[in-house]
Amino acid sequence: MSFLNENENWRGLTKKTELIQSNVQGRPKKRGKYLTPCPDIQIIRQRPKFSLNLPLLVNGNSLGPAKIGKQFIAVRNTCAFDSIVQSMLTAYHDFATYYQHITESKNAIHDFVEALSKSGVSSKLYNERCVILKHTSEIKNGVLDCEINVATLIELHILPNTPSLEIKINCNDCQYEKISIIPVLELNPDPIFKEAMRGLQEAVCKSVEHYVSKTRNECCFCKGTNITKTFAGGSHIFLNLEAAEIGLLAARRGLANCRKQFTLSEIPGNLNYCDRQYKMVSAIIFVAGHYYACIKRATGRWEEHNDLCSSQKVMTITKRDVLKQRRTPLLFYVRI
């Protein structure tokens, strides 16, 4: 505004103007609450867009050999791995909190899920699957047989350090801390024997109590007993229901006639676990030596993710099939 201080010559009159100084200070504009950044909204914007058509992994039995370095390996019976990945992939797309968990906690299986979401199935991805699974079994004559119990696969090979339940023991004397990670929660079958899936919530609570009580009541370092135990659920929980399928165990409880197969509609959609709410995502089904995933999308639609599907596509489960009884050894829930 320096021009205000210049001399003016209008009609022969000379006038000198001076810069006007104002003592009024403007108040800073307050940012509206609707313009304040919200971390939850940021996560929702960053996560993958909801898609009804998710990519589907194909079983290694239907594919040619994978290539690792200069070696060609025929990968067989990948259904246990594929059903787990399809379940995690769905949660990655449908739930913002689980998307954040996958992107922030890096490991081989999380990277695999991200790659499947972004690029879809490819020969490169199948080669990576072979790399992940090559430690599950010995390669014989160029063949890697990945037939394995689905809970064992999670616990020992692909998610051993990702907790469904985490128990922390702190020694108040020497400050020693020990953390126990349970990747798969083995359920107490008694409530399920008695009430079928209506007893799932009680079975989960009893199992947590069992795991916590089973931990040592003394410090591993100083052998003191002045310890504090705390426990928490993970970003997801895998629930192992195989004990509920053992007929001999049910007979010993005096419940030989209890049901050992359940419909998808019976599975509770929500669980209260370690003071947090969890949402049901998938039921891993086992039929004739083959695993596949029955997945409930965020929209409520049921889908069958079967890596032996001839069309190599995700299939919608009809209302009639939802009422069909199935053998369900594993359930997958995510924290919401």
More confident residue, 256 or 218: 218
Task: Please state which of the ranges 20-24, 72-76, 125-129, 189-193 shows the lowest mean pLDDT.
Answer: 20-24
pLDDT tens per residue, range 105-137? 889 999 999 999 999 999 999 999 999 999 999
Residue 5 reports pLDDT greater than 70: no
Report pLDDT for 48. 59
Confidence band, pLDDT 50/70/90 cuts, at residue 202: very high
Model confidence over 233-284: pLDDT tens digits?
Answer: 999 999 999 988 776 667 777 777 788 889 999 999 999 998 899 999 999 9
Write the CB contacts of 275 (distance below 8 Å, at least 6 apart in sequence). Answer: none
**pLDDT, averaged across the chain:** 87
Per-residue pLDDT for 307 more than 70?
A: yes
Which pLDDT score, from 0 to 100, does residue 23 have?
A: 59
Q: What share of the chain is helix, strand, coil (3-state, %, to 5)?
A: 35, 25, 40
Residue 211 has pLDDT above 60, yes or no: yes
Token pair for residue 306?
């079967």
Whether the predicted pLDDT of 161 surpasses 60: yes
The architecture (CATH level 2) of 55-335 comes to: Alpha-Beta Complex (3.90)
Q: What amino acid is encoded at 222 in this protein?
A: C
Classify burial at 268, counting beta carbons within 10 Å of its beta carbon; exposed 0-12, middle 13-18, buried 19 or more: middle
Q: What pLDDT score does 7 carry?
A: 56
Does pLDDT of 45 surpass 80? no
pLDDT of 25 strictly over 80: no
**What sections of 105-157 are H helices per DSSP?**
108-119, 123-133, 150-153
What's the whole-number mean pLDDT along residues 208-236?
A: 89
pLDDT over threshold 90, residue 38? no
Helix/strand/coil for 153: helix
